[in-house]
Each structure stands twice: as C-alpha cells, then as structure tokens.
Homo-oligomer: A and B are copies of this chain.
Amino acid sequence: MPNDYLKIGDVADLLTTTVRTIRYYEEEGLIEPYRTGGATRLYSTQHIARLKAIMHLAENGFSLDVIRLIGTTRNTCSTGDEGSEKVSNIIESAIKNIEDQMNNLKLLKAELKAADRQVKKCAGCQNEPSSQGCPDCPINRNLGKIEVLNLIWE
C-alpha cells in the first residue's frame, strides 16, 4: 500500500544502511515514521531527509544524544525566538567542538608527518630494529621531540 511513501527496507537500501539502524534511531526518539494500519513503518521524503541529516551527523562522530537534542529542542520551545536562541547555542557549541577537533587533528597530522620522515630514514638499513639504535645511528637521539616515536621505538 505504500505509494508515496517508502517502507523501511527500501529506505535502508536508499541510504545504504540497515533496517535495524533505522529502527534504532526510532527507539532513541530521533524519528517517528508513519504507520500503516498493520504497523508497517512508512517514510515520507521528509522522514528521509531527516534520516540523512541524522546519519550525516552520526558519521561525523556526533552521539545520538546530541543529535536528539538538536532534533527536539526547537519543538519544546513556545516561541520562535526561544527556539532560535536555544538551538543556536547547541549548534555553536557543536561548531566549537568541531573546531577543537580540527585543531587537534592538524597538530597530530603534523606530528605523524614528522614521525614518518624519521621512520623513513631507516630505509635500506640491514640491522635489526632495536630501541638502542645502531652504534652510529642518529635517529633515536631525538625521539622525545616527536612524541609518537616513543611508541614506535618501543
């Protein structure tokens, strides 16, 4: 009987996810599809757009708790003004988290690049890897500068 609406299996295929995941989002109060008389879930294009947004955030590390907050706050407000401020606050805090993450990743990336350059210096070496380094090996002398090397060089 679904003509304009999609059933859960089709939605799962469309969004390349699983039926279970979509049901789980419903269990968690993130989305509420329509139902046929027989309790089969039906999803409108709006439902699907909402699911896309949920998945997009989830794939970028947002917890379902935060996603739920984003998705429900506006409806719990009595005026557009109130909703505007509350939702804006949530979004801006999310943006700040993302910026922090990006900064951390940027630093880590630089460190990994530096580590990679050091590691590559062992190319061609026929000695056994050791934590002491070979007698005349200069590499292990500045492990401390590049934190992650302390992990690699045992």
Contact = CB atoms under 8 A, between A and B. Distances in A.
Contact of A87 (B60, B113, B119): B119
A148 B53 contact: yes
Nearest to A77: B129
Contacts of A78: 128
A74 B153 contact: yes
Q: Which of A87, A112, A152 lies at the interface centre, i.e. has the most chain B CB atoms within 10 A of its CB? A: A152
A50 B149 CA distance: 8
A91 B75 contact: no
Given A105-B101, A109-B98, A112-B91, A147 B81 contact: no
A26 interface: no
Contact of A75 (B52, B60, B113, B154): B154
Interface in A119-154: 119-129, 134, 143-144, 147-154
B98 A105 contact: yes
A121 B102 CA distance: 28
Contacts of A101: 105
A66 to B, nearest CB: 11
Nearest to A146: B53
Nearest to A148: B53
Interface of A: 46, 49-50, 52-54, 56-57, 59-61, 67, 70-71, 73-75, 77-81, 83-85, 87-88, 91-92, 94-95, 98-99, 101-102, 104-106, 108-109, 112-113, 115-116, 119-129, 134, 143-144, 147-154
